[in-house]
Amino acid sequence: MKEFQRKQLLERVNREAATVGAEIPDAIDVQGEEVDLREFVFEIKRRDTVPASERDRVEEAKRNLRRERRQRLQQIEDGEISYERGEFLAESIIGIDRALNALEQLRPVDLEQEATVQATADQKRWMRFLKQALGREDVSSSPGGGRGSGGGR
């Protein structure tokens, strides 16, 4: 592969909008193992959130995809491959990036549960505050208290 071709491929895979319109590959060889990548991503995406039981599996998949991406990018950077092989690697890197983007957008279920717990706790604190504030106000408005005393009609 010629130097200008290598630079073009590297620029293409590192472009911010490289994944726009790109498709997730049906299958990809990751660390020597064939992975049905599109099926995996769509199976997980259908749920919209990642259940705790699947979180480890998803995190492992993301780690493996990142590792595979780095290895493929390194092959292009080294430039000791044919341009055709470089083209194939560049397309596969963009597909990996597309899959990673899809997986990164998923929300863990625990975050939703944590938000609900936090909202409930906030509501309880607010109610406690209001009760205390109203309780003090009642005490302070009694005879001999603070505000509201000393000036009857």
Residue 38 and residue 11 in one domain: yes
Same domain, 32 and 91: yes
Structure tokens at 113: 């549960």
Same domain for 96 and 128, yes or no, is no
Residue 82 is classified by DSSP as: -
In this prediction the pTM is: 0.65
Confidence (pLDDT) at 68: 92
- The burial class, CB within 10 Å (0-12 / 13-18 / 19+), for 69 is buried
* Angstrom distance (rounded) from CA 142 to CA 149: 7
Number of folded domains that form the chain: 2
What pLDDT does residue 96 have? 92
- Report the DSSP pairing between strands 28-30 and 49-50: unpaired
Residues 67 and 13 in one domain: yes
Position 152 scores a pLDDT of: 47
**Residue 31: what pLDDT?**
76
Task: Retrieve residue 132's tokens.
Answer: 């205390």
Provide φ and ψ at 18, rounded to 5°.
Answer: -60, -30
- Could you list the residue range(s) of the whole structural domain that residue 124 is in? 109-140
If asked whether residues 78 and 114 sit together in one domain, one would say no
pLDDT in tens, the chain (153 residues): 899 999 999 999 988 877 787 888 888 888 788 888 888 888 887 776 677 777 888 888 889 999 999 999 999 998 889 999 999 999 999 999 999 988 887 766 555 666 777 888 888 888 888 888 888 654 444 444 444 444 444
pLDDT value at position 110? 58
Does residue 153 lie in a domain region? no
Question: Which residues have C-beta within 8 Å of that of residue 99, sequence separation ≥ 6?
Answer: 24, 25, 37, 38, 41, 65
Beta-strand pair 107-108/49-50: parallel
Cβ neighbors of 3 (< 8 A, separation 6 or more) are 79
Same structural domain, 90 and 118: no
Same domain, yes or no: 37 and 90: yes
149 within some domain: no
* Model pLDDT, residue 76: 93
